[in-house]
Amino acid sequence: ETGVTQTPRHLVMGMTNKKSLKCEQHLGHNAMYWYKQSAKKPLELMFVYSLEERVENNSVPSRFSPECPNSSHLFLHLHTLQPEDSALYLCASSHSGLAGERGSYNEQFFGPGTRLTVL
Amino acid sequence: AQSVTQLGSHVSVSEGALVLLRCNYSSSVPPYLFWYVQYPNQGLQLLLKYTTGATLVKGINGFEAEFKKSETSFHLTKPSAHMSDAAEYFCAVSERGAQKLVFGQGTRLTINP
């Protein structure tokens, strides 16, 4: 596997279910991101992990719970979701470093996304 | 705070015609600038980026963009559109040393035969 992979690619769940989205990067990066992409809305940054520590949480409801066990893996745990949470969830990774350091342009590499439908 | 504006949420051109997608940003210092493309039901793919040096940057699939500091713009162009260029295009900026990208709202490009 190369690049950034996400599983599953499609997920249908009821509002009472608990599920998890998985992201894995094979690029040697040290920062990972979750984005939500809804129809007719801009890309929304949800969470940022740098060196396995959460550095940003953009007022995301607690029914979304991220987990970053190591620099290659990122999870998004879902529980008691609402129909309005239906969207494409994108994972990305980048090299996070000091300004000017080689590769520290924050160029992000994206996975193919998980299309989530909440019934 | 950084912001990115993409003029036109939907652009339609004929096959073989010039493609011009506009992007303006707000920043007091030159940021890093990116264009991404997203095909249906896929993730975002980097088309090109500006970091330092030459202000005209070339990317994949025949696209290029020019960083104009005086206009705070980073417009994306392609001389001759192809049907396979139909997709959503996102402009993004990153402040030097910042942890995240700020994305524009996207422009959907349609190619007419």
The band of A98, judged by pLDDT with boundaries at 50, 70 and 90, is: low
Average pLDDT over residues B84-101: 86
pLDDT for residue A81 is more than 80: yes
Q: Quick: pLDDT tens for B46-72.
A: 999 998 888 999 999 999 999 999 999
For B41, which of A96, A111, A115 is closest by C-beta distance?
A115
Query: B43, A45: Cβ pair inside 8 Å?
Result: no
Buried b (16+ CB within 10 A) or exposed e, B80-96: ebeeebbbbbbbbbbbb
Three-state DSSP state, B75: strand
Q: Quick: pLDDT tens for A23-37.
A: 999 999 989 999 999
β partners of residue A56 = A48
Query: B44, A4: Cβ pair inside 8 Å?
Result: no
The pLDDT score that the predictor gives to residue B81 is 97
The pLDDT score that the predictor gives to residue A22 is 98
Cβ contacts of B65-73, under 8 Å, gap ≥ 24: B65/B23, B65/B33, B65/B35, B67/B30, B67/B33, B69/B30, B71/B24, B72/B24, B72/B25, B72/B26, B72/B27, B73/B22, B73/B23, B73/B24, B73/B25
The pLDDT score that the predictor gives to residue A104 is 57
The pLDDT score that the predictor gives to residue A101 is 53
Average pLDDT over residues B72-88: 97
In 3-state terms, chain B is what percent helix, strand and coil (to 5)? Answer: 10, 55, 35
If you count them, how many residues does chain B have? 113
How many alpha carbons lie under 13 Å from residue B97 in its C-beta half-sphere?
3
For A106, which of B42, B43, B94 is closest by C-beta distance?
B94
pLDDT for residue A89 is more than 60: yes
